[in-house]
Structure 1
């Protein structure tokens, strides 16, 4: 599912979601955790944006912040022209019907005391829709996710398999007619065979319902398969952004290269294409100065300790925040780096 040749550009008329300088911080007894540190990006109407990175990189926190699930420390999130972070409760409730999330734990995300028909239509109860119309809507969306209404409508979550529960969660999201679907590790808790079914289902409903999707995962293979563009995160920052072909075939950031090398492969002697990352992940309580990846980066130099790298386009088309990228910048001069505003990242 490759994007067009201009998929990296910010096209305001096509941007369903615009995120600018998003910051999320958590106060703890040990200090302030910088979970998301000033990230900016656009999601074009009808595309799938994949977000990938190690556990703790901030990808799930960013996904939840877009829907204003939890406190946000700063920035702007514009959805269909409305700033999600500043609207009142009533308007936020209306917006959330257009912005739905599918969570990692399919069974845990469902109320154990409600039956499937109730779970699927609970978001419609506040709209004034009649009971008969809600049941008809449940029938329609359950059919769309491959569950027979007559067989499943009266089941409780404990009577469902993991894959069936995730299908119910997807049907619940579809019932309110969303424009944006955020999938937060939506297949990681499922068996491999079931993962493929759910991934194919998400692809199908995206086309059927005209959805825009943010697909958050740590599985690099899955992200490549479903995404039009990919955003790689490390310790609360974006380090690489672009079309899957460029990122996966010619990664520009050393962290992206390390992620790809960490995937087990059958065609190399020890099962891995490259060496494991050295050192521990720095604490988000006190991230490194300059480039946050420098403490684990084999290419780090003195400049990396003092200066935070900015996004610049590489010769292969993606955008990389690195002073010494593995794929050269189109211009070696930082003064000529592409402004973030032109790439949908500011």
Structure 2
């Protein structure tokens, strides 16, 4: 994301928790190189929740893992409070991991089935170097924080928990070592709708109580609308649009964002954003389209889109889009609808 598009990213270093610049993640396979994340740059501000959204395969989960060094970077910088994680050696990275945690999509598979709930939480405290005398008390306290009675749930194994209870344990485990930033990778997608609401409300409360900063990865736009302060829309490894949630949802500037929003039943029933619906399949990351990667499915694509990668540029106050025709949606009769 070079050129004018970086203007919205260049804030005072003291004003960010995480600064990502020109992030690249690639996988070498027998069929060629998979371009999973390409030239992605963004900042995360203290106390905010930044949402990463897009279709399956857009690179959002890979981005989340890469910023925590759970994926190997092919290029770019990941700076956490002034320290570059991308180039950090193991000895430097280990203490930083206590401040950077991740909550995964499938809570049961992320928990050791041989350990009890209390042991799982205590394990994180042990790794963090907390004194032995404090560990059980601290574990029980954080279990209570996520709404689980430590006397009832502490002795249980993960297989004895419901999906929602297991996700609460995963959250407790992440919180136990007092992190600064948590990447939440589709934390509610595997849960029933009613349980999703409980976990979303819990994250809201814990964020304020523990002064957390969150990166929230999801394909569910309704959840993103209720949880996030800002949203970053990704397609085939690149950023399409970034902005405050209200601005992006009310007046999306990128055709892909409009198509995603039109897929929400309530918006579609209300008329959505006039124009052709999103058609076709997402191209292979082994051979992404030249120029704008969305052009093969875009109703506004022109010859320019095939040869020139669009820069991320301002389309409003705190609102940015990577589209040669970012002004065109204004002429298509936007119909803001709550999601």
Common fold: TM-score over 0.5: yes
Aligned match of 1:48: 49
| Distance of 1:267 and 1:23 partners within structure 2 | 35
User: Is 1:244 the counterpart of 2:245 in the alignment?
Assistant: yes
| Distance of 2:206 and 2:274 partners within structure 1 | 35
CA contact (8 A) 2:51 2:228 kept: yes
Q: Classify 1:90/1:82 alpha carbon distance in 2 versus 1 (closer, same or farther; 3 Å).
A: same
User: Is 1:286 the counterpart of 2:287 in the alignment?
Assistant: yes
| Distance of 2:317 and 2:84 partners within structure 1 | 34
Aligned match of 2:67: 66
| SS of residue matched to 1:134 | helix
Q: CA RMSD in A?
A: 2.1
Q: How many residues end up aligned between the 2 structures?
A: 324
CA contact (8 A) 2:232 2:239 kept: yes
Comparing 8-17 with 175-184, which one deviates more in the overlay? Answer: 8-17
Q: Residue 93 of structure 1: CA displacement?
A: 1.5
User: TM-score, length-normalised on structure 1?
Assistant: 0.89
| Distance of 2:267 and 2:99 partners within structure 1 | 43
Aligned match of 1:76: 77
Q: Residue 268 of structure 1: CA displacement?
A: 2.4
Q: Classify 1:251/1:9 alpha carbon distance in 2 versus 1 (closer, same or farther; 3 Å).
A: farther
Aligned match of 1:95: 96
CA contact (8 A) 2:262 2:268 kept: no
| Distance of 2:9 and 2:329 partners within structure 1 | 18
CA contact (8 A) 1:251 1:326 kept: no
User: Is 1:131 the counterpart of 2:132 in the alignment?
Assistant: yes
Q: Residue 75 of structure 1: CA displacement?
A: 0.6
Residue by residue, what CA displacement relative to the aligned partner does 1:21-57 show, whole Å, maximum 9, x if unpaired? 1000001110000000010000001111011000000
CA contact (8 A) 1:46 1:212 kept: yes
Q: 5+ unaligned residues in a row in structure 2: which ranges?
A: 1-7, 331-339
| Distance of 1:272 and 1:92 partners within structure 2 | 46
CA contact (8 A) 1:240 1:252 kept: yes
Residue by residue, what CA displacement relative to the aligned partner does 1:306-340 show, whole Å, maximum 9, x if unpaired? 100001111465101000114579xxxxxxxxxxx
| Distance of 2:99 and 2:270 partners within structure 1 | 48
Higher helix share: 2
1:305-316 maps to which residues of 2 (within 5 A)? 305-315=306-316
User: TM-score, length-normalised on structure 2?
Assistant: 0.91
Aligned match of 1:118: 119
Residue by residue, what CA displacement relative to the aligned partner does 1:151-189 show, whole Å, maximum 9, x if unpaired? 111100001100000000000000011000110000000
Q: Residue 292 of structure 1: CA displacement?
A: 0.4
CA contact (8 A) 1:97 1:123 kept: no
CA contact (8 A) 1:183 1:216 kept: yes
| Distance of 2:286 and 2:184 partners within structure 1 | 27
CA contact (8 A) 2:14 2:81 kept: no
